[in-house]
C-alpha cells in the first residue's frame, strides 16, 4: 500500500510538471513553417496583413520576373533557372524566419477552446 501511494504521488507530480511545461510552450513554428512553404502565409497567421501581401508579392515577382529574365538569357538552361530557384528559396527562408520570430515574440499558440468544439488562436 505504501509503494502504491509513493508511485501515485510521483505520477501526479510528473503529470503536473508535464502539463505545466506544455502550457507554457508556444507554437511559433506553425507560422514559420507556413511562411516557408508559401511566403506570406505565416505573416497572415501573425495578423500582419501588409507584410503578408508584401512577402507573397515578392515571391510571385521573383518567380515570374526571374523566369522571364532567365528565358531571355542565352545560357538559360544551365545557370538561370536554378539561380531563380535559389533566390526563391532564400526569400522563403527569410519569410519563414521572420514569421517565426514575430510569432515567438507575440506568444503565438494554437489550441482548442474551452468546450472542445472550436479552434482558437491566442496572441
Q: Where are the alpha helices (DSSP H) in 46-80?
A: 49-72
User: What is the C-alpha separation between 97 and 33, in angstroms, rounded?
Assistant: 9
pLDDT tens for the chain, 123 residues long, are 777 667 665 665 555 555 444 444 678 888 999 999 999 999 999 989 999 999 999 999 999 998 888 888 776 566 777 888 899 999 999 999 999 999 999 888 776 656 655 555 665
The structure's pTM equals 0.69
- Host H or E run for residue 11: helix 2-24
117 secondary structure, DSSP code: S
pLDDT at 19: 47
- As given in the structure block, the three cell numbers for residue 69 are 529574365
Amino acid at each position: 500500500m505504501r509503494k502504491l501511494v509513493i508511485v501515485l504521488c510521483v505520477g501526479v507530480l510528473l503529470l503536473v510538471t508535464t502539463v505545466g511545461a506544455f502550457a507554457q510552450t508556444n507554437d511559433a513554428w506553425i507560422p514559420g513553417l507556413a511562411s516557408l512553404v508559401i511566403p506570406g502565409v505565416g505573416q497572415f497567421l501573425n495578423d500582419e496583413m501588409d507584410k503578408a501581401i508584401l512577402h507573397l508579392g515578392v515571391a510571385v515577382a521573383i518567380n515570374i520576373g526571374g523566369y522571364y529574365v532567365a528565358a531571355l538569357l542565352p545560357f538559360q538552361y544551365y545557370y538561370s533557372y536554378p539561380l531563380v530557384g535559389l533566390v526563391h528559396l532564400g526569400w522563403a527562408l527569410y519569410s519563414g524566419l521572420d514569421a517565426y520570430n514575430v510569432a515567438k515574440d507575440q506568444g503565438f499558440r494554437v489550441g482548442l477552446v474551452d468546450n472542445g468544439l472550436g479552434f482558437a488562436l491566442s496572441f
